[in-house]
Chains A and B, each alone.
Chain A
């Protein structure tokens, strides 16, 4: 088994409490399934949409990381899978795709 990180990028805001609730239920169901199948290593953490980016020798601080919310990482989860192909396959069940977001699947480097 190898470890992978799912990075959740973008996804549109729900327009009503009812829509939030429906999105929520889909996420709960998906996470539960990952856990039951033994792929969930760590639920991970949600990330604040705000932040700062510090760059260059001058260490210039700007608001960031991205001006567009569609590129923002909203959170991550640590997954266990046989290989990258299986991890990518697992990500397909993520509800984020219904709401115009994407999942970045990244193998954790083995030491």
Chain B
């Protein structure tokens, strides 16, 4: 077993899904217990006998046998998955049914259904993401708490409450449900949030948590492989994630410092991920749907197409931001639009656009708002004002990487003045 391949976490997600399908969503806690037991067992045996050649198969078999035990023991006392009807009742059908539900393609399908179940409209978005991490990605409470900077107890309570909401449904979300497309949008948003948490995350340890990005891409990949969920917006979401993730290797430089898009070493961009992103972007163009993910992916593709920063087609980017503002306006989008305009028409115009942002007070606690003001003031030659903005951004920074980055920018103001 290689360090860092997260085999256990991945398998945990698959096992919880298969078991939930068998036991029913209202018996989620039972499914989680069985998974926990399977891992404890694996640990006890493997630590002495060594890891078997096919650890995934070993885990799955253990979980499957436990599932059969539980069903045989409790089928009179509990109601298991209603959609399986009488299949679990007789020994003739029990084993083949359970076998089939533990098969790779059934699990893939059911993981998607689980993802839709997690994005329940009665749950806040961040809770939906926490549930996805817990149930599909196999994250523990501690790991989820770390991802969202929340306390362990609070996270635990939030998950318990959320699972109660899920359990009220009894069965996993059905793709034939009338709510399908609304729920698909919720899934998109949750995955987008998960990706951003990894990309821009507010974690004090590290600004880039590749793992969360990787999970988001993996789950979005499940969407585009499914006949119903592979909508243009799903492809666009995949495209945008891949195109952004392609830049991850250069977001942090050799010294461990954040590197802005303007001075990243573009030779480190992941060409394979970029190509994959562009393929998804092509596929997203089928049909007439134009989502915010389409536009964001298109913007990312323009950056990807520029071998050097100076080659960037900022004019197209600015016009893309115009469309994004029309479709899904937000102060952050407006700020990015202003930055693009500054690239085309100069820093003064950029500053003017920033001053015109509606409810820009909502950006007040966002360090990169002050940092953008600082950059544009610096380019306009007003070093003192720039330094103040950077100092302000510095006070808002959320991790050592951001702090070092902003400190360097603040120092740049001094150097210009000398």
Contact = CB atoms under 8 A, between A and B. Distances in A.
B144 to A, nearest CB: 9
Given A24-B1, A24-B43, A18 B48 contact: no
B8 A20 contact: yes
A77 B43 contact: no
A15 interface: yes
Nearest to B40: A13
Contacts of A16: 9, 138-143
Contacts of B138: 16-18
Contacts of A14: 39-40, 43
Contacts of A75: 44, 47-48
A27 B142 contact: no
Given A27-B47, A28-B1, A75-B48, A15 B142 contact: yes
Contacts of A27: 46-48
A23 B48 contact: no
B178 interface: no
Interface string A22-51: 011101100100000000000111100100
B408 interface: no
B212 to A, nearest CB: 13
A21 B6 contact: yes
A13 B36 CA distance: 9
A43 B141 contact: no
Interface string B1-22: 1010011110110000000000
A24 B44 contact: no
Nearest to B44: A46
* Chain A interface size range: 20 to 34
B153 to A, nearest CB: 14
* Chain B interface size range: 20 to 34
Which of B3, B6, B47 has most A Cβ within 10 Å?
B47
A24 B8 CA distance: 10
A17 B43 contact: no
Contacts of B9: 16-18, 21
B44 A28 contact: no
Contacts of B395: none
B49 interface: yes
A24 B36 CA distance: 15
Which of B3, B6, B7, B141 has most A Cβ within 10 Å?
B3
A91 to B, nearest CB: 14
B50 interface: yes
Contacts of A44: 48
Interface string A50-77: 0000000000000000000000001111
Given A25-B1, A25-B3, A74 B140 contact: no
Contact of A18 (B36, B42, B45, B140): B140
B143 A18 contact: yes
A19 interface: yes
Nearest to A48: B44
B49 A45 contact: yes
Contacts of A77: 48
A46 B48 contact: yes
A46 B40 CA distance: 12
Interface in B162-221: none
Nearest to B144: A16
Interface string B27-46: 00000000010011011111
Interface of B: 1, 3, 6-9, 11-12, 36, 39-40, 42-51, 138-143
Given A8-B48, A17-B138, A21-B1, 11 more contacts: A16-B140, A18-B8, A20-B39, A21-B6, A24-B42, A24-B43, A24-B46, A25-B3, A28-B50, A46-B45, A75-B47
10 contacts: A13-B40, A14-B39, A17-B8, A18-B6, A18-B9, A21-B6, A24-B42, A46-B45, A49-B44, A77-B48
